[in-house]
Structure 1
Amino acid sequence: MKSEKTTLIWVVMMLMIRTQKVRLYPNRHIKKVLDSLCDYRRYCWNEGLATWNDMYDLYTLDSNSPRPSTYSVRNELVANKADWQYELSARTLQLAITDLGNAWKNFFDKAQPDWGKPTFKSKKAARQGFKTDRAKIVAGKLRLDKPRGVKDWYDIRISKHADLSGVLKVISIYRENGKYWASLPFEVELDVKPKAGDNSAVDVNVGHLNYTAGVINTLPKRLRKLYQRIKFYQRQLAHKRVVNGNKATKGSRYIAMRAKLQRNYRKVANIQHDIMQKFTTDLVNDYDKIVIEDLSVKVMQMSHVASKGLQRSMFGYFRQTLTYKCDWYGKALIFADSQYPSTQRCSKCGHIKVGDDKITLQGNAVHQTKHSEYVCYSCGTKLNRDENAVANLLALI
């Protein structure tokens, strides 16, 4: 009898999380539900933070007392639940305390982008939201988990352009300016792009990004007009607060003008996000290896020389977007060290400017050169400063 050999072929699927930001169109009944869940999330966070602080105070006074943790704080809040809390989703409380525990972990790591001690949430904040991991996509609509004892329940219509394929994970729903949005993370199979056979480097600057194929303007003229409008609204709101004091924020005109200010901020964010998304997509489609600088943006903003321009140029968002897209499509992202002299180094001969020869934001006062000029005093080469930086970064590949 011949023995048959069976060969098992294991197919390893590379999975990734792709997040879709969509607009929600709830009916009147679900709007009230979403507003209640937003308020409940804020309540759970504030109660959890107060409980955490109390437990920590007891722990510092008596070492025999339990040290606060996500598990202990969550159990304390669940044990003291009121009757009205059972009408709302239980996952809202649990996920809020989980995020609170992560916030305390990040507090001990200063490298985190939003480093700081957890603070209480305000009901006056422009954005209110909550999370749930029991939502489903049914017939192209979003269905939230129905609490116990609730009869009337409806699915939420989603904006048509959304790609709803994949396994849905923990979603975030938030309200801003009377509109409802959702971040839908889907677990999908990794889409590896074919090799393009070319490399590139990106030099980030205030107002523009330079790379191998040209320049991307991150602060177009339409943004400048919006910033002027934002500045006007901010001054008007500040004047109302000075004249009317605390009562100003309750006036109908103040609320209407604040809504206009928030709408303009949303327009600015949409324009900048669109620019960054399209540019980073082009990079991962056209290049296999991409080099960017590992900049300490927070330290740069503390100088107050160009802090507003740095904030508006969205260096952090560019790096974040490019990082996850390179992971999605199997492209290599290389970070140049923050001390790498990409601006001061000559891409032709390798000479590095030091001392009074260095190029600053204003150029070089000793040699009377402009900000955009790079003149090598070793080989005499004259280059564009940004193009020279891109060539130096490209040399790291």
Structure 2
Amino acid sequence: MIRTQKVKLYPNSHMRQALLALCDYRRYCWNQALETWNNMYDAYCVNKIDNRRPNKLRVRDELVANKSEWQYGLSSRTLQLAITDLGVAWDDFFNEELPDWGKPRFKSKRAPRQGFKTDRAKLVKGKLRLDKPHGVANWYDIRFNKHVDLAGTLKTVSIYCENGVFWACLNFEITVERKCKTKQITAVDVNVGHFNYTEGVVRVIPKRLKRLYEQIKYYQRKLAHKRVVNGKKATSTISYRVMRAKLQQAYRKATNIQHDLMQKFTTKLVINFDTIVIEDLAVKKMQMTHVASKGLHRSMFGYFRRLLTYKCDWYGKKLVLAEQSYPSTQRCSQCGYVKQGLEKITLRGNALHGTRHDQYECYQCGAKLNRDGNAVANLLALAK
């Protein structure tokens, strides 16, 4: 399996310039490859000749044949891996079921995050050593902020710069030990702000996150006000850059908190249970208003499912997906009655019978249940 550890880099002034040059080169290679790929694809659509369909090998050969003199002073793997990633992006373009489906776009030098990849890096005496380009005399190893606790073969290293700070994602190929079987089954009902399962409730938007979101809202308003008052000149001022750095730092803190919660919760699930049932939700269809869309985005349904999928794969556990048409919320877990039409529970409850959205009242057997607990029971019945 491939596992990743993120570290903060502390390059000296010389290596900082070298890393920034590689970031610029990665963006240049991506844009050149995308332009070449677009031209090849347009020609293919006109001629419809199968052997002329663009692929990463054809694009790579085209760019290598037209290399400039200055490109030989930089790592060749940056070009190769940029074209490889572009090939993956083009393959995703033909799969419309992906959440961020669309045609690959050009990279901008104004983007707040710039980075590159290499597969020839090494860990030497607690430092990161990149492959040395030809004709470069001074080349140094880079310190990072913590000990790497993953034992395995170092594969691809992704390095990026954000607000003048360099980070590295170290990908290790390791052997994962299977977890002991517990013969236990659980179900997770995901909701905006909290996840319900057989052992209780997990808050995915705690109070500290709400305070961070208030800070983010304040910074966004300040930046928008500066752009309205000063126009295009606002982005070049020092106060604007400082405020934007604070906004990005607040976003990073919020993301780290949520990722930590999700990692711990999914690890707990795969350790304590052998079978886990979740719903296969159509999240895009659930985004009815901008308020609901913001809550869905912050609850990270897709990230939770992605983590649970690969962790169940790692540890030999079974993940069961309930179909989108499965009425986990509308079905009574005691008698099996399914609400239809005006009897359904919505985000505002049920106007016909005057019930709240967090209550489930069965009109056949008379049972009064908690809506989330009832959904968990129905998902458990599906697994059994």
1:97 to 55, 69, 83: 83
CA contact (8 A) 1:140 1:164 kept: no
CA distances 1:255-286 after superposition (whole Å, capped 9, x unpaired): 11111100000010011011101111111111
- Give how far 1:62 is off: 4.9
For residues 103 and 327 of structure 2, the distance between their equivalents in structure 1, rounded to whole angstroms, comes to 35
In the TM superposition, what is the alpha-carbon distance from 1:357 to its structure 2 partner?
Answer: 0.6
**Is 266-275 or 191-200 further displaced after alignment?**
191-200
Task: Give, in whole Å, the separation in 2 of the partners of 1:61 and 1:340.
Answer: 45
Structure 2: how far apart are the matches of 1:370 and 1:251? 51
Matches within 5 A, 1:246-325: 246-301=232-287, 304=290, 306-325=292-311
Matched residue, 2:120: 134
Matched, 1:219 2:232: no
Amino acid of the residue matched to residue 225 of structure 1?
A: R
Determine which of 173, 196, 208 is the counterpart of 2:194.
208
| Among 324, 346, 359, the residue aligned to 2:345 | 359
Question: How many Å apart are 1:336 and its aligned residue?
Answer: 0.8
Q: Is the 8 A contact 2:195 2:202 kept in 1?
A: yes
Counterparts of 1:61 and 1:374, CA distance in 2: 58
Q: Does 1:37 align with 2:22?
A: yes
Describe the superposition over 1:148-195 as per-residue Cα deviations: whole angstroms up to 9, x where unpaired: 111211222233243231111122111112221122121111210001
Give the TM-score normalised by structure 2: 0.96
Matched, 1:77 2:63: yes
1:345 match: secondary structure: coil
Bigger mean CA deviation after superposition, 119-128 or 152-161: 152-161
Query: Matches of 1:161 and 1:181 in 2, distance apart?
Result: 14
Q: 1:3 — aligned with what?
A: none
Following TM superposition, by how much is the alpha carbon of 1:349 offset from its aligned partner in structure 2, in angstroms? 0.8
Corresponding pairs, count:
382
Residue in 1 that maps onto 2:159: 173
Kindly indicate whether residue 70 of structure 2 is the aligned counterpart of residue 87 of structure 1: no
How far apart are residue 200 of structure 1 and its match? 0.7
Which of these residues, 139, 145, 150, is aligned with residue 136 of structure 2? 150
Q: Which amino acid aligns with 2:106?
A: F
Q: Work out whether 1:242 is the aligned partner of 2:242.
A: no
Conserved? CA contact 1:135–1:144, under 8 Å: yes
Opposite residue 122 of structure 2, the aligned amino acid is K
Q: In the superposition, relative to structure 1, how do residues 281 and 61 fare at CA in structure 2: closer, same or farther (>3 Å)?
A: closer
How big is each residue's C-alpha offset from its partner over 1:332-361, in whole Å with a ceiling of 9 and x where there is no partner? 111111111110011111111111110001
Aligned to 1:10: none
Where does 1:224-235 land on structure 2 (aligned, <5 Å)? 224-235=210-221
Matched, 1:52 2:33: no
* Aligned 8 A contact 2:126 2:147 in 1: no
**Alpha-carbon deviation of 1:61?**
4.6
Sequence identity (%): 67
- More off after superposition, 157-166 vs 32-41: 157-166
> Alignment RMSD, CA only?
1.5
Amino acid at match of 1:261: L
SS in 2 for 1:369: coil
Deviation readout 1:119-174 (Å, 9 max, x if unpaired): 11111111111111111122222211111111211222233243231111122111
Q: What does 1:100-115 align with in structure 2 at a 5 Å threshold? A: 100-115=86-101
SS in 2 for 1:374: strand
Residues 233, 128 of structure 1: alpha-carbon distance in 2 compared, 3 angstrom cutoff: same
Over 3 Å counting, the alpha-carbon distance change for 1:161 and 1:395 in structure 2 is farther
Which deviates more, 178-187 or 330-339? 178-187
Does residue 25 (structure 1) correspond to residue 14 (structure 2)? The answer is no
CA distance in 2, matches of 1:276, 1:22: 20
Q: Please give the TM-score of this superposition, normalised by the length of structure 1.
A: 0.93
